[in-house]
Amino acid sequence: MHILELSLDRPAGSPFRSALASPELQEILAALRSALRPTARVFVVGGFLRRAARIELERAVEPLGDLDLIVDDPEPLALPPGSLPGPITTNVFKGYRWFAPGVFRHVDVWRLADHYSIRLFNRPPTIQMAMVGFPFNVERAAVDVTARVAYDGGCVDGIRTRRIRFDPVDLYLEHLQAVRAVLLQRKTGFAFDHSVLALLAARPWDGMKGEIRHYLELDGWVASSIDTLFDELDVLGRSAGVMARADDGRSRKVPGASRR
């Protein structure tokens, strides 16, 4: 997987550069830095960067939701209640969920070495290795706030082509990734690549709806919204399955076999 690295201070810049100019982000970073060791590096990752890049590239504005931050520090990350303004809890992936005052629904903070995919696959704790664990192209972006360096693993191309692609190096939590695909399409309005359709056709949520419901409830979802999402997944799964079977049938045809 190729990850492009670009200084935000170069003349060419990056469509992610405007993200760092956000006063809402700077307010969050200032509060977080006060609770971290001076040598800790902070990375902004994911949807907030995609939103900034879309504003610059296509003048499209996604709703402002949550914010994801990764902290690179060899020491364990500790954000006890009272260390930041607003309530702090743990999130489902063993990081911190900070309900900061302001515009973000919440802020999720992880230590780089504790990132789920890095721990799961025993990868070196680098931001590039964390990005390898981001399964969707339109979320594979990061900015090193301290060094002012942007990393792009396909996010900009996904915006330009308006396609969501599912291309993880290693598969994990496919039932939650299917949910994520639907939520990404809701946010962006982008089309699904064939790789996402293949994920949906496999219906990884079958038999896992109880776990998915629990995960979404922890994220603040109400029962009716979860039921609507399950209905949408089932419809997408059926249609993706039909398309996959049609493609398989076409690929199996022998050229000229229908001629008489």
State pLDDT tens for residues 64-77: 889 999 999 999 99
The confidence score (pLDDT) of residue 253 equals 47
Q: Give the distance from CA 153 to its chain's centroid.
A: 12
User: How many domains is the chain partitioned into structurally?
Assistant: 2
Per the structure, the complete domain to which residue 216 belongs is given by: 173-251
Question: CATH no. for residue 40?
Answer: 3.30.460.10
Residue at which a domain ends, from 135, 161, 187: 161
Q: Are residues 101 and 229 in the same domain?
A: no
Q: Are residues 28 and 144 in the same domain?
A: yes
**Residue 92 φ then ψ, to 5°:** -70, -15
> What 3-state class would DSSP assign to 123?
coil
**Residue 175 φ then ψ, to 5°:** -65, -35
The confidence score (pLDDT) of residue 255 equals 44
The confidence score (pLDDT) of residue 252 equals 42
Each residue of 214-247: b (16+ CB within 10 Å) or e? ebbeeeeeeeeebeebbeebeebbeebbeebeee
* Residues of the chain scoring pLDDT < 50: 251-260
Note the pTM of the prediction, 2 decimals: 0.90
The confidence score (pLDDT) of residue 26 equals 94
Q: Are residues 153 and 194 in the same domain?
A: no
